Structure 1
């Protein structure tokens, strides 16, 4: 990719960077956010190196994965960048967890291959989390574990189990809420950017019932975000709810007009 002016990147909406410049542009934007933005002073050189290491590992694990028409790693980077830029969070553990938030769920065996024999005996997911704990620290592993979906009971509705898991896992983990809120926003508000209508309807059905819970979790006093950021997130979730309603109410190809963000 031709080198982009970082100051320009820092003024662009995240999804525009994603659609215009792809994965290289998002990587450049992440670097700009932690090296040149107004938040840059919050990061030490060691913390920047750790974030870069988490990005490399997440991208490596998901190198063959795609989300419709884009590399899966785009999603990981957007989730992390949103946490820094929009949520005003400079906690390196949280940012690393954002870059790795799907690694254990999607690639437990790849990570478990790096575990000790004793760790592998506990199963792929515990072994994968043990690897992250050793590579980063226990808090990063705990945050990733909190947003990792468990195996579902095939006899029960998967969407119901998903909502129950999110509610239980995030009840007493306020910092993990930040990772999940950014992930949910990228998946929910970001539906407007997908060209796969079948996936759009499927995900709208999955995410729509979760909006009230996510709004509640964001607004809680112990969620470590400013009131202004909480208001911003609430607006984003309200927009997502409108889009879910429009998608699910689609009739004969006619969808109500909704402004984009």
Structure 2
């Protein structure tokens, strides 16, 4: 497939709409050219594992892998992350939550713990720690799920500054990208993600969040855009 020469500067959702998964894979390939061979090998291995685990998963209108690619590309391009562990964890941030048994194989007992052990063995303990920080726990069915989600993020991201960076890329894809969702999920996603905007403003603004001032300003702008879109979805005037 032929791609335009400006693929490296196209918005990721535009790449998704026009070129689909092949376009995002090519954009990922362009981004990883800046790394050395050892790093490229690790990033490719993480992408291959993510593609294998999520091969049958979809996000409404697209393969789930597209979401993982956008999260990783955003880390490299917009956030200027050069820490390979962080990008690997970005590619695999849903692996343990969505496919613990497949990742852990035939392990007995706690599939989540076994899956994290597999990640630690394959990509290092730091990658496993970052993935664990963005992996949702089992929620109490008698309590509000969205509230438990917010509480979990507040605690887990408080102690893992690099996990904040991964999660805000994930949030940006889900939150700012809510306009690319269709059906009932539009409203449910807006309700889930809107209360997270103040949390991410606080987390990203902290001095120990390892991003440059310019990148932080970019993220704050994306949070503003997400809030505008949530308001447009949820704050409809009452019918008269």
TM range (shorter): over 0.9
Q: 3-state DSSP class of the match of 1:10?
A: helix
Quote the Cα distance in structure 2 between the aligned partners of 1:246 and 1:12: 25
Quote the Cα distance in structure 2 between the aligned partners of 1:238 and 1:15: 18
- After the TM superposition, which residues 98-177 of structure 1 pair with which residues of structure 2 at under 5 Å, given as runs? 98-113=90-105, 117=107, 120-121=108-109, 123-177=110-164
Runs of 4+ in 1 over 3 A off after TM superposition: none
Aligned twin of 1:57: 49
Quote the Cα distance in structure 2 between the aligned partners of 1:95 and 1:126: 21
- After the TM superposition, which residues 19-38 of structure 1 pair with which residues of structure 2 at under 5 Å, given as runs? 19-35=17-33
For the pair 1:69 / 2:61, whether they are aligned, the reply is yes
* CA root-mean-square deviation: 1.3
For each residue in 1:123-155, what CA deviation from the matched residue of structure 2 results, as whole angstroms up to 9, or x when unmatched?
010000001011110001110010000000001
For each residue in 1:178-228, what CA deviation from the matched residue of structure 2 results, as whole angstroms up to 9, or x when unmatched?
10010000000001112x131010000001111100111111100000001
- Which of 220, 233, 238 is equivalent to 1:247? 233
Q: 3-state DSSP class of the match of 1:105?
A: helix
Quote the Cα distance in structure 2 between the aligned partners of 1:143 and 1:91: 12
1:252 is displaced (CA, Å) by 7.3
| Aligned CA distance change for structure 1 residues 58 and 252 (closer, same or farther; 3 Å) | farther
Paired residues in the alignment total: 239
1:250 is displaced (CA, Å) by 2.8
Aligned twin of 2:85: 93
For the pair 1:221 / 2:207, whether they are aligned, the reply is yes
The TM-score, its normalising length taken from structure 1, stands at 0.89
Structure 1, unpaired ranges of 5+: 254-261
Quote the Cα distance in structure 2 between the aligned partners of 1:32 and 1:239: 27
1:3 is displaced (CA, Å) by 3.2
For each residue in 1:229-254, what CA deviation from the matched residue of structure 2 results, as whole angstroms up to 9, or x when unmatched?
0010001001101111111123579x
Quote the Cα distance in structure 1 between the aligned partners of 2:195 and 2:93: 22
